Amino acid sequence: MRHRILFTGLALALFAAAASARPADDLGIRVFKLSYRRVEEAALLIRPHLSEAASVTLTQRLNAMTVTDREENLKDVAKVIAAFDVAPRGFTFAIKLVRARADIPAGSIAREIGGLGAKLKSLFQFNDYSLIDSAVLRGVEGRRVECRLGGEYALAFGIDPAGTSEDLVLAGFALSRLRKNDQGRPVTSTLYRAAMPITLNQTLVVGASREEQSKNALLLILLAQELPKAEAEKGAAGSKTVEKRP
């Protein structure tokens, strides 16, 4: 009887061991190396697609991760990473910085403003609009764009990731004025700062700031458009001034 009990006990033990080994036998291992996005961000995205038996190892130096899990879960993880690890989108930003004045008689609108003159008159009550400077800036998701306008103004903003949306958020959008104080030291004063929501291919007019004289103001006109993928992958953001008027 004792042997039978031992044998039965051994059989149960072997069965339990086989049952616990079976899920492990179904586990697979895949290495995912990301080309564009950070592996730490991808690791957060795949969490809902993993089982309790899964393990994830990050190799930050290679921007890669090793995932151990059931095959069906690994397939889901592969789809999530493929959709996430895409080249960042690139954009151009056509910028015009305009001085608006109400302290002079109504005059002709500067030709550089073009057809925007009528729109400005409908939005603001100023007599004259003149172009200070303009530029076409190039930027990529997740990076910051900076430029000088008219010698004494500085514009800077970051481009938040937007996925496939036509709507962007320009983080930390700031227009500043650069001057020298009585001692000749450079002083920067912020004229406008906010998170700026914009829509591609739609012109945005921002009343940036009233200057010292209450009847004068600065207006910023912005038009954002998406770059072709090949252009966006060239990388670094840059700027190119296309028009100027003192």
- For 133, the domain range is 90-244
202 pLDDT higher than 60: yes
Tens digits of per-residue pLDDT, 205-228? 887 555 444 577 888 999 999 998
In the predicted structure, residue 22 carries a pLDDT above the cut 60: no
Helix (H) or strand (E) holding 24: helix 2-25
Whether 70 and 95 map to the same domain: the answer is no
Instruction: Check whether 235 has a pLDDT greater than 70.
Output: no
pLDDT tens-place string over residues 136-181: 999 998 899 999 998 899 999 999 988 778 999 999 999 999 888 8
The pLDDT-based confidence of 15 (bands split at 50, 70, 90) is: very low
What Å distances lie between residue 193 and 69, 208, 238, 245, CA to CA? 47, 9, 21, 25
Percent of the chain as helix, strand, coil, to the nearest 5: 25, 45, 30
Within-domain flag for 198: yes
Mean pLDDT value of segment 37-63? 94
Residues in CB range of 88: below 8 A, 6 or more apart: 36, 140, 141, 142, 143, 161, 232
Give the H/E segment covering residue 22: helix 2-25
Three-state secondary structure string covering 198-236: EECCCCEEEEEEECCCCCEEEEEEEEEEECCHHHHCCCC
Inform me whether the pLDDT recorded for 30 exceeds 90.
Answer: yes
Cβ–Cβ under 8 Å, residues 234 and 220 = no
More confident residue, 18 or 202: 202
Question: Is 12 within a domain?
Answer: no
- The alpha helices in 69-155, defined as continuous H runs, are 71-84, 116-123
Could you tell me if 129 and 199 lie in one domain?
yes
**More confident: 182 or 143:** 143
Same domain as 127, residue 41 = no
- The DSSP letter of residue 182 is T
Number of structural domains in the chain: 2
For the cut 70, the answer to whether the pLDDT of residue 24 exceeds it is: no
Torsion angle, alpha carbons of 12, 13, 16, 20, to 10: -170
H/E stretch holding 70: strand 64-70
